[in-house]
């Protein structure tokens, strides 16, 4: 289902965001996060772009990674901070009010991994390409880009079906929040175009949700 667009509604109440997403995606987002985090090693320095309420960052921290988590929503960051305190992970995660377009301030070859969950679909084309090329720069050689996000299905049938369903949901979400998200077109191609090598792709049955792992060549 194309329910990921509903996050625009849940975002308004950051404290309840993860609960709602879990119900609507029937736990699938947790599975995706678990896979992405399984690629991290203890002690890795990781950047989480668009950490939101911190679901992915905290999962990585539990694995022993040091996380720099950035988001532009101050209310979501507050939820994430208090959650990290509760789970005694504050020493591993640094929460920052920062946008993806500020990544040009980061040092070259600084991170072992860059991850992002359901954030790229909130960026426009220019922002996405900027973020990806900065990601390629700030990753260490051999470092990983780990993404799970909503994509536009490749097969025509699925694309039409998904487009119809999504269109209806989009109107509902627009009415509630005035906001929307954009399913990403050709994410692997865009990742390859900035010089990262795609290693692993997994797409769900509907063809509208992708987990992707890419590596910066040595």
CB of 48 to other proteins, least distance (A): 17
Q: How far apart are the two ends of the chain, measured CA to CA in Å? A: 38
**By the rule CB under 8 A, 72 interacts with other proteins:** yes
Q: How many CB atoms lie within 10 A of CB 91?
A: 9
DSSP class per residue in 177-198:
HS----PBS-HHHHHHHTTPEE
**By the rule CB under 8 A, 99 interacts with other proteins:** yes
**By the rule CB under 8 A, 178 interacts with other proteins:** yes
CB of 180 to other proteins, least distance (A): 8
**By the rule CB under 8 A, 179 interacts with other proteins:** yes
Instruction: Mark residues 125-154: x for contact with other proteins by CB under 8 A, - for none.
Output: xxx-xx------------------------
Pairing state between β 139-150 and 66-71: unpaired
* Candidate ranges 31-39, 67-75, 80-88, 199-207; the one touching other proteins (CB under 8 A): 67-75
Burial class, 1, CB count within 10 angstroms (exposed 0-12 / middle 13-18 / buried 19+): middle
Asked if 57 and 116 count as a contact pair (C-beta separation under 8 A), the reply is: no
Q: How far apart are CA 158 and CA 122, in angstroms?
A: 22
CB of 163 to other proteins, least distance (A): 18
* Total residues binding other proteins (CB under 8 A): 17
**By the rule CB under 8 A, 9 interacts with other proteins:** no
- Residues in contact with other proteins by the rule CB under 8 A: 72, 74-75, 99, 101-102, 104, 124-127, 129-130, 174, 178-180
């Amino acid at each position: 289902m194309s329910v990921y667009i509903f996050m625009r509604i849940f975002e308004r109440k950051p404290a309840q965001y993860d609960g709602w997403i879990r119900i609507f995606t029937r736990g699938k987002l947790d599975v995706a996060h678990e896979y992405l985090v399984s690629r991290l090693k203890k002690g890795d320095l990781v950047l989480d772009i668009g950490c939101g309420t911190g679901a992915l960052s905290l999962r990585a921290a539990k694995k022993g990674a040091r996380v720099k988590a950035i988001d532009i929503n101050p209310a979501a960051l507050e939820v994430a901070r208090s959650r990290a305190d509760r789970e005694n992970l504050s020493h591993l995660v640094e929460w920052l009010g920062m946008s993806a377009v500020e990544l040009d301030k980061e040092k070259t070859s600084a991170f072992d991994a860059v991850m992002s969950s359901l954030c790229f679909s909130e960026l426009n084309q220019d922002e996405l390409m900027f973020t990806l090329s900065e990601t390629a720069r700030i990753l260490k050689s051999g470092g990983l880009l780990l993404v799970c996000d909503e994509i536009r299905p490749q097969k025509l049938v699925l694309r039409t079906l998904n487009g119809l369903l999504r269109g209806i949901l989009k109107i509902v979400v627009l009415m509630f929040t005035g906001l929307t998200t954009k399913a990403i077109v050709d994410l692997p191609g865009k990742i390859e175009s900035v010089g990262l090598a795609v290693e692993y792709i997994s797409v769900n049955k509907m063809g509208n949700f992708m987990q992707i792992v890419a590596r910066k060549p040595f």
